[in-house]
Amino acid sequence: MTKVLRALIVAPEHDYATEGSHRIAEIIMNILPEYDIEGILLQKKDAIRGKFETIVKEKRPTLIVYLGHGDDDVLYGQIPPGDRTPMIEDTKNPDILKGTVTVAIACHSLNRLGSIAVFKGGCDIYIGSDSYYFLPGNDEEHSYMDDFARCILALVIALVNGDSAKEALDQYRQLCEEYEAEYDKIGTPIALTARNWMMANRLSMGIRGEAAGGLVFGIYNKE
């Protein structure tokens, strides 16, 4: 039987930061067909726990990409006007990530939540941030948000292309460093702020799970 590749992209949108991350989610959805991957977008008011858990159980995505707000023990989803129940909580439903490769582009999403998702919930590989994750604005001369989006895309594309999580994260970090050098040359206050934010994002991203040891994996549907 031909394997059907499947990815769930979760993108709440309820403030300035999530407006930016939602745009990134739409770009990811547009590129997934180029890699023969079925993309499922759970967005805006639908990015709540009940609908998230239903889709994961019914569709069994192998790759989950979350773009939104987080903390050390939760990924929040749509708040407000969602149901205000965190989408993923470390003590209540980490097992919903069992068997998945999960990428959480969210503040403080790695250390506690990522570890529990892997060691208690059975998540295969979890990539997230151990600090704040920044998305900048733009000015008239440069689209900084687009650059930050390209770094996230580089990470996701590497994963769906079959690279190991370590290799994917290395590619993400390399592109971040290239933009940091570019912003140094621009030298304006907003460029230097973007450089610092890009550096902070690069340094904060890490891995929990088998891939931390460098195992290579491909994204595939378990059915």
pLDDT of residue 81: 60
Domain edges within the chain: 5-213
pLDDT of residue 3: 41
Give residue for tokens 């460029």.
191
Give the span between the Cα atoms of 135 and 148, in whole angstroms.
7
Q: In this predicted model, what pLDDT tens digit does every residue of 163-188 receive, in sequence order?
A: 889 999 999 999 999 999 999 999 99
pLDDT of residue 80: 73
Q: What is the spatial order of strands in the sheet that 101-105 belongs to?
A: 37-43, 5-11, 63-67, 101-105, 125-129, 205-209
pLDDT of residue 83: 61
pLDDT of residue 141: 85
- The one-letter amino acid code at 112 reads R
Q: In this predicted model, what pLDDT tens digit does every residue of 96-119 receive, in sequence order?
A: 999 999 999 999 999 999 999 999
Using 70 as the pLDDT threshold, list the residues of the chain that sit under it: 1-4, 81-84, 210-223
Give the DSSP letter string of 52-85: HHHHHHHH--SEEEEES-EETTEE--S-SSS--S
pLDDT of residue 137: 81
Q: Under CATH, which architecture does the 5-213 domain have?
A: 3-Layer(aba) Sandwich (3.40)
Eight-state DSSP code of residue 163? -
pLDDT of residue 98: 95
pLDDT of residue 195: 97
pLDDT of residue 29: 94
